[in-house]
Amino acid sequence: MKVLRAARMERCIGCHSCSLACARQVHKFLSWNKAGIRISSAGGLSTGFEARVCLACSPAPCAEACPTGSLIQRRDGGVIQKKKLCIRCGKCAEACPVDAIFLDHLVNPYVCIHCGQCVPFCPHDCLELVDLPKREQTEGGSDD
């Protein structure tokens, strides 16, 4: 199973092409918020850039916090999003340990679904889709 990794952020120039690509192609929006990946500085531009992006937790605290099943645990980490089930309670964003879920002003959550559509838009190859190692059966979780 593939997950998105912001593996080489020290190369990032802060162009936001990745988050704009996600907003445009995945969410059909013009925005740098309504996206599964967001770029911020670590405290001013002289400190370089960070990617706010889902780290593919397993189990994912956001899925555990979601009361309606709108965010469902992916097999090896991260979540699948079913927007229609979302009641916009915002619990998922509260639960995320790395601030990777963005809530817009209508409390719609935006989270990376590891589709990789942002990757070709990064001019410096900061991002990559990688295979997660298969988890041991004993760790639990469902393959369904």
Is 30:24 a contact under the CB 8 Å cutoff?
Answer: yes
Among 2, 31, 95, 115, binds other proteins (CB under 8 A): 31
CA distance 63 to 80: 9
For position 44 contacting other proteins by CB under 8 A, the verdict is yes
Segment lying near other proteins (by CB under 8 A), choices 44-52, 69-77, 81-89, 130-138: 44-52
- With CB under 8 A, what is the number of residues at the site for other proteins? 31
Asked if residue 107 binds other proteins (CB under 8 A), the reply is no
Q: Is 54 in the site for other proteins (CB under 8 A)?
A: no
CA distance 34 to 20: 9
How would DSSP label each residue in 95-136?
H-TT---EE-TT--EE------TTGGG-TT--EEEEEPPPPP
Among 1, 2, 9, 15, binds other proteins (CB under 8 A): 15
Distance between CA atoms of residues 131 and 79, nearest Å:
15
Q: Using the rule CB under 8 A, which residue among 59, 64, 85, 124 binds other proteins?
A: 124
Find tokens 């690509």 and name the residue. Answer: 21
Q: Which residue has the tokens 């963005």?
A: 102
- Tell whether residue 24 is a contact of other proteins (CB under 8 A): yes
Q: Is 89 in the site for other proteins (CB under 8 A)?
A: no
Considering only 1, 9, 40, 115, the residue that binds other proteins (CB under 8 A) is 40
Contact 103, 90 (CB under 8 A): yes
Question: Considering the rule CB under 8 A, would residue 123 count as an interface residue with other proteins?
Answer: yes
Pick the stretch among 36-44, 81-89, 90-98, 111-119 that binds other proteins (CB under 8 A): 36-44
